[in-house]
């Protein structure tokens, strides 16, 4: 009987404990709900329609931004195709046939009419494709997205039918973590090659253009050409901080005249030297070319490849113009001019095979030689400028995806949001260009390096396009197979050719890519681990609402903005802070600044605000959302915009809801969960040790903030008044009618008292016993990058005198 009673008592205690845990969980959900309801639900995007005259004008302007790099290829293609001379005139016809069909298949059909359609609201490039894939499948390694983010105006996506091939592909991709990592590595590889492109394009374009000096002055030393090229490169990179806004209007006329020049010169050479080169439009001569030259013909594909360099830059720069304008410009102007230019050079070479090194300048009539030289140099600078600007944009996207250290980004134009400047990246590119130009001193080796970078970017784009066609476009698998087979057949042929030239300059982009990939991989790995640390070490809302008498917590006049990576829960840095200094501000806002896989977030949809817990506690959460193209400009006034959003939320809440709704939580929580909250804190601390996340107890604060805080600790009055402070336990006992004060007035007074930005100063270290490569990556590579990169406070333009750092260490 006694055993039965004891068993009954035990069961009763278990039932009570389960009820308390259940009630605790229900309360937690009420206090810190997802922010879906606060999201703006604007689903219909406004798509601007252009008149035919506007399209034609934009097609003209696109020449200067999109086609500068592709247009300078005739300067160096034939030299890199025949670096050792031309043995047979028919080889020129075969090489021309390869150039013609390369331009037809890759830039025209694949990129202009297929790949360019795979844009993220007009944004191109490998990272833009990755963002598009992240919206259609859960492949992002940092899971910080919420359902509310899907309601953004720019968050466009298509849903796949259950059981379809697209749905099966999506499920397969999401099934294993290694597949997500493999996808990211592929994307980063393409990004690294594009960064290498930013070094090699200016080097080969400027060096090839200035090589015209030596053609007209044969006795001139090659070192003089190299020196002139370096001077031009230094001038080009030194002018980057001014932006292209003031001189951008010159780009299109320069490239237009350049294309007209090379097209007209091509017609002149065809008519003067040999019209029979037009037979190269027959693909038969491709077969005869390989049959005649064998292995040497196959290796020469590395030179043919240079005829389509700039195509990857074309895709990266499509954001500036409508797709139709780009398609019209290439199909009806750029493509014909390039064909005429190559046919003209081939016609000249058939009768002058000994001029293979300087075919372009040697084929120019003497009367227009110097004007052509001037416009060749101008076109090379314009093409280089487009590639450099594209590199800045790529780095900006990589930073937003958490794949690159935070670097300084300057907005150079008030009219165009896409025009940016990265000082750190600019000087790295300049040093790389000078090193490549001075080391190789000739077009051949730089061309080999350039070709390797270009073909690897194309292969990455093909792989990503397969996923786009399946997950986004929902194409039939047969169409996907045809596209994949044809693309890989052409691009792998080029890739097999550049492999033979690895030791002749092809190693350069591989070294650049390896260094860039190491930096990006290490940074992204540490970023993911920091997010996981915050997720595991966050404390529940029940704990923070139960504080007060246990730690002697008081409310200090002012507003505290606590920055965190989390969109829910209380960050560990906050609990760490108040454990060491048991006081918080009268108004506390947990601020989460996060980047989404969209190109931009409109100002109207930027901030999401949510109240946490009862009104008496005046604790809020604010999520600031950005796209990968959005910038934190100095004149944005992030702090005021955030506080204005908070005021708007309070005003709207006052109109829409009774003031007493959230007050009921306060008394319920105060009575039932004060003790449990203390146990919850201990439980969380135990979990932190179990997960091997170790934190130090140093808090770095500026002396002015410490003095302000200490001077107010002696006075304990209500949170509702900035001139009085009150502990949490006292606030919970206030009657509803006393709580209903003008919160907007309170917020205004608190703002006048001062706004403090509380940020985590996290140090990442490798755990004891980690394998050596991991220790090197974390303790040396990441530590160095974290030391030289810009702090979050600088990126957000937080005033130095209002910053408060909370130090912590965790081991991975």
Total domains present in the chain:
2
Residues forming a β-bridge with 755? 559
Q: Is residue 767 part of a domain?
A: yes
* pLDDT confidence of residue 8: 45
Q: Is residue 601 part of a domain?
A: yes
Residues 353, 309 within the same domain: yes
How is residue 561 annotated by DSSP? E
Tens of pLDDT, residues 546-579: 765 444 567 788 999 999 888 777 888 888 888 7
Q: Is residue 10 part of a domain?
A: no
Q: What's the distance, Cα to Cα, between the start and end of the chain in Å?
A: 55
Query: Cα 612 to chain center, whole Å?
Result: 32
Q: Which residue has the tokens 């196959």?
A: 298
CATH of the domain at 401: 1.20.1740.10
Token pair for residue 336? Answer: 């014909």
Q: Is residue 687 part of a domain?
A: no
Q: Is residue 723 part of a domain?
A: no
C-alpha distances in Å from residue 49, one per residue of 54, 55, 105, 329 = 10, 10, 30, 18
Q: Is residue 114 part of a domain?
A: yes
Whether 129 and 463 have beta carbons less than 8 Å apart is answered as: no
Residues 426, 543 within the same domain: no
Query: Mean pLDDT throughout 280-309?
Result: 92
* pLDDT confidence of residue 552: 53
DSSP H or E segment with residue 560:
strand 554-564
Last residue of a domain, one of 469, 500, 527: 527
Tens of pLDDT, residues 386-422: 888 888 888 988 998 889 998 888 877 666 566 788 9
- Give the Cα separation of 638 and 623 in Å (integer): 12
- Give one DSSP letter per residue of 580-614, joined into a string: HS-EEEEEEEEEEEEE-SSS---GGGSEEEEEES-
- Give the Cα separation of 422 and 240 in Å (integer): 9
C-alpha distances in Å from residue 474, one per residue of 116, 184, 477, 478 = 17, 22, 9, 12
Q: What is the three-class DSSP state of 559? A: strand
Taking residue 44's Cβ as centre, other Cβ atoms within 10 Å add up to 6
* pLDDT confidence of residue 34: 47
If you count them, how many residues does the chain have? 812
- Give the Cα separation of 420 and 399 in Å (integer): 14
Residues 519, 577 within the same domain: no
Q: Is residue 287 part of a domain?
A: yes
Give me the domain span that covers residue 755: 538-654+744-811
How is residue 164 annotated by DSSP? S
Whether 527 and 402 have beta carbons less than 8 Å apart is answered as: yes
* pLDDT confidence of residue 583: 79
CA dihedral 247, 248, 253, 256 (to 10 degrees): 140
Tens of pLDDT, residues 17-69: 445 444 444 544 444 444 444 444 333 333 456 788 888 888 998 888 888 88
Residues 560, 418 within the same domain: no
- Give the Cα separation of 534 and 808 in Å (integer): 11
DSSP H or E segment with residue 810:
strand 803-811
DSSP H or E segment with residue 755:
strand 755-765
Residues 248, 187 within the same domain: yes
Token pair for residue 180? Answer: 């997500």
Q: What are phi and psi of 761, to 5 degrees?
A: -110, 85
Tens of pLDDT, residues 59-91: 998 888 888 889 999 999 999 999 888 888 899
């Amino acid at each position: 009987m006694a055993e039965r009673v004891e068993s009954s008592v035990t069961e009763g205690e278990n039932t009570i404990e389960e009820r308390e845990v259940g009630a605790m969980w229900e309360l937690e959900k009420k206090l810190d709900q997802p922010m879906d309801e606060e999201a703006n639900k604007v689903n219909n995007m406004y798509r601007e329609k252009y008149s035919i005259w506007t399209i034609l004008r934009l097609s003209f302007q696109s020449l200067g931004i999109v086609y500068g790099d592709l247009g300078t290829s005739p300067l160096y293609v034939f030299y890199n195709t025949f670096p050792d001379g031309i043995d047979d005139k028919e080889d020129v016809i075969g090489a021309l046939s390869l150039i013609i069909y390369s331009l037809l298949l890759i830039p025209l059909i694949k990129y202009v009419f297929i790949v360019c359609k795979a844009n993220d609201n007009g944004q191109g490039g490998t990272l833009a494709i990755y963002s598009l894939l992240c919206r259609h499948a859960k492949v992002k390694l940092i899971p910080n997205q919420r359902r509310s983010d899907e309601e953004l105006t720019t968050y466009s996506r298509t849903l796949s039918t259950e059981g379809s091939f697209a749905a099966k592909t999506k499920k397969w991709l999401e099934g294993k973590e290694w597949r997500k990592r493999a996808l990211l590595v592929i994307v980063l590889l393409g990004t690294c090659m594009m960064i290498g492109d930013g070094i090699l394009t200016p080097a080969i374009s400027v060096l090839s253009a200035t090589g015209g000096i030596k053609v007209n002055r044969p006795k001139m030393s090659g070192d003089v050409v190299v020196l002139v090229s370096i001077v031009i490169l230094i001038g080009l990179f030194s002018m980057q901080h001014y932006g292209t806004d003031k001189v951008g209007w010159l780009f299109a006329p320069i490239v237009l005249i350049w294309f007209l020049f090379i097209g007209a010169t091509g017609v002149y050479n065809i008519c003067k030297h040999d019209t029979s080169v037009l037979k190269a439009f027959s693909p038969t001569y491709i077969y005869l070319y390989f049959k005649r030259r064998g292995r040497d013909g196959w290796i020469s594909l590395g030179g043919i490849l240079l005829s389509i360099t700039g195509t990857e830059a074309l895709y990266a720069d499509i954001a500036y113009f409508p797709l139709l304008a780009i398609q019209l410009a290439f199909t009806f102007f750029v493509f014909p001019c390039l064909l005429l230019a190559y046919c003209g050079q081939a016609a000249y070479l058939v009768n002058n095979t000994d001029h293979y090194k300087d075919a372009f300048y040697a084929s120019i009539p003497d009367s227009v030689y110097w004007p052509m030289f001037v416009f060749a140099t101008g076109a090379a600078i314009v093409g280089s400028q487009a590639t450099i600007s594209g590199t800045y944009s790529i780095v900006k996207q990589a930073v937003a995806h958490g794949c690159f250290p935070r670097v300084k980004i300057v907005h150079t134009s008030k009219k165009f949001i896409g025009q940016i400047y990265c000082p750190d990246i600019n000087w790295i590119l300049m040093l790389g260009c000078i090193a490549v130009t001075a080391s190789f001193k000739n077009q051949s080796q730089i061309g080999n390096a350039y070709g390797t970078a270009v073909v690897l970017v194309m292969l990455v784009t093909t792989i990503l396009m397969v996923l786009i066609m399946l997950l986004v476009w929902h194409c039939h698998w047969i169409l996907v197979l045809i596209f994949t087979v044809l693309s890989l057949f052409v691009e792998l042929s080029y890739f097999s050719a550049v492999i033979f030239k690895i030791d002749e300059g092809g190693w350069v982009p591989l070294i650049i890519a390896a260094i860039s990939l190491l930096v990006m991989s290490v940074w992204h790995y540490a970023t993911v681990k920091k997010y996981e640390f915050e997720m595991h070490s966050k404390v529940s809302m029940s704990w923070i609402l139960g504080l007060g008498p246990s730690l002697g917590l008081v409310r200090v006049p002012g507003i505290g903005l606590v920055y965190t990576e989390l969109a829910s829960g209380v960050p560990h840095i906050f609990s760490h802070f108040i454990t060491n200094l048991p006081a918080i501000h009268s108004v506390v806002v947990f601020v989460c600044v996060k980047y989404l896989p969209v190109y931009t977030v409109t100002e109207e949809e930027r901030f999401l605000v949510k109240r946490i817990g009862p009104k008496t506690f005046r604790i809020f959460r604010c999520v600031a959302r950005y796209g990968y193209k959005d910038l934190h400009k100095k004149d944005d006034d992030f702090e005021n915009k955030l506080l204005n959003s908070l005021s708007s939320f309070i005003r709207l809440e006052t109109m829409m809801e009774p003031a007493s709704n959230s007050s009921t939580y306060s008394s319920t929580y105060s009575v039932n969960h004060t003790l449990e909250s203390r146990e919850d804190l201990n439980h969380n601390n135990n979990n932190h040790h179990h997960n091997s996340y170790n934190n130090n107890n140093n808090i770095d604060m500026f002396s002015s903030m410490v003095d302000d805080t200490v001077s107010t600790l002696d006075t304990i009055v209500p949170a509702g008044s900035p001139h009085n402070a009150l502990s949490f336990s006292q606030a919970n006992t206030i009657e509803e009618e006393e709580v209903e004060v003008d919160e907007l007035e309170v917020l205004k007074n608190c703002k006048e008292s001062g706004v403090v930005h509380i940020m985590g100063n996290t140090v990442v270290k490798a755990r004891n016993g980690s394998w050596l490569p991991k220790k090197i990556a974390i303790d040396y590579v990441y530590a160095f990058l974290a030391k030289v990169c810009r702090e979050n406070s600088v990126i957000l333009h937080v005033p130095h005198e209002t910053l408060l750092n909370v130090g912590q260490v965790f081991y991975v």
